[in-house]
Amino acid sequence: MKICFRCKNEKPKTEFCKNARNKDGLHCYCKTCTKRYKQSEKGKVAQRKYKQSEKGKAADTKYEQSVKGKATIKKYEQSEGRKATYKKYQQSEKGKAVMKKHKQSEKGKATIKKHNRKHKQNHPDKRKANRKLNNAISSHTIVRPDNCSMCGVECVPDGHHHSYEKEYWLDVAWLCRKCHAKLHDQERKKLKKEL
């Protein structure tokens, strides 16, 4: 049993977080008090201040480079909750403004250029198929419709390739950006299930 310095209640040792600095190897405050403090305005300010300090940054870097830290970050990156949060942020006004600012910055332009170069190297068949389709549209061999074949909305649709085999380069489904992204997302999920 151990007494919490904040609430002064005697609690079992399992109710305290570990702290190697203390003699008994446990934190002086119980988990309930620690949680309450971290959620308070004073606690949030203290955490922010610590994270911005040199000591806090060093601790974060050390944790991120540790095996446990890498595993935790990887698990979080792949979680549905993180994806949903990121998608929500991207669709918010603040997220859109940040993305726009980043794309217009030198760093953002360099990142986009690097990504495009890497994509072209990894998917030469996709690039050839898109080029062939664009040339066919320019020479009026293929006429681009004025609406999406999936939802029917009026737009300038994208040509979606179901296959990148040479004989199917001009065989496309005309989809709006929203439907096109949805279809690619479904294909990605299907591939993941197969693996």
Which pLDDT tens digit goes with each residue over 67-80? 999 999 999 888 98
Which pLDDT tens digit goes with each residue over 110-164? 999 999 899 889 989 998 999 999 999 999 999 999 999 999 999 999 999 988 8
pLDDT of residue 188: 84
Query: Residue ranges of the domains in the chain?
Result: 2-52, 62-103, 123-195
Q: Cβ–Cβ contacts within 10 Å for residue 174, how many?
A: 20
pLDDT of residue 115: 92
Give just the sign of the alpha carbon dihedral 63, 67, 68, 71: positive
Residues in Cβ contact with 44 at an 8 Å cutoff, skipping those fewer than 6 apart:
38
In the structure encoding, which two tokens stand for residue 102, read together? 């980043």
pLDDT of residue 195: 65
Beta strand 26-30 with 16-18: parallel, antiparallel or unpaired?
antiparallel
